[in-house]
Amino acid sequence: MSTPRPLPVVAAVDGSEDSLRALEWALTEAVRRGAPLRIVHVRQYAPWTQPGVLVAGPEPADDRVIDEVRASLAGRDGLPPVEYVTREGAPAALIPQLGLDAQLLVLGSRGRGGFASLLLGSNGVATARDAACPVVVVPRPGRDVQGDDDAPPGPRVVVGVNVDDPDDTALAFAFGQAERGGARLQVIAAFPWPALAWSTFGDFTPTTVDQDAAESETLTLANAAVARWRKAHPDVQVDLYVAPGDAAGHLVENSREAALVVVGRHRRRLTRPAPMLGSVTNAVLLHAASPIAVVPPVPGGES
């Protein structure tokens, strides 16, 4: 019985420096995964030809962006099997669709269009929010993040865990990434502090809840959340950090010199049936210094 061919890693390119950095990241990841690489350029319809229904058009015969990428990779050693694809349409609609038959979709944080001052382009937002597979957004270098100067040496993958509702899909992805890359895994569990209560005077006041007790309980729950993944990936060294305050802030701070930060995407619920990134994921996408992986929930967990 033949082994099925693995799904490709897809890199979305548009000729910008951001997309070329993302392509290099995707190349490395495809080799690690033993997967083919599909390099896709979605050419924007001209405003006067853009159809009412957004579908991929036939593959154009010529594409300068694809030609330049192909030339830049010619003769390089150690490349995975590479496929080049051109589509025409609205990138924010078509790029997320590339994840339907991919194991990973990679793109830069900014493309050629839009406002240069934006930290994350509209295509990146749409893809991270809508794609069916995990999406990695590679930011521009130079994001100023006040990180931990005492971070251990070597490659490091960072993932956040909500101890009240752990995201097993994001944790599984993070453990897999750490194992493939020979990286240690930094698991961050934040808890709100100070704990506030509604007073009889109509305002919020600090409670008498002991911070040490809150930290200890959070640590216990975090250890329980990662226990099955530690067992499944015994070679991954796990550093578990519990800290008071904002989860997004801790993830951004620890993105400094990290190989990857992994965040989950909101599960669909009756009160929010449309895909949503969530405030923590959105903040990490906008401000983290390292590449960011946004992992969608499994379809069965979205109801």
Contact yes or no for 262/290 (Cβ under 8 A) = no
pLDDT at 2: 61
C-alpha 43/C-alpha 41 separation (Å) is 6
pLDDT at 300: 46
Which of 279, 260, 276 has its CA nearest to residue 268? 276
Question: How much is the pTM?
Answer: 0.84
Beta strand pairing call for 135-138 and 292-295: antiparallel
Provide the greatest CA pair distance for the chain. 74
pLDDT at 37: 97
What domains appear along the chain, each with residue ranges and CATH number?
A: 9-138 (3.40.50.620), 156-301 (3.40.50.12370)
Contact yes or no for 7/29 (Cβ under 8 A) = no
Task: Split the chain (303 residues) into runs of 10 and give each run's mean pLDDT.
Answer: 83 92 96 96 66 44 89 93 93 92 91 46 84 94 70 87 92 97 95 61 57 87 95 96 90 93 74 63 91 84 38
pLDDT at 183: 96
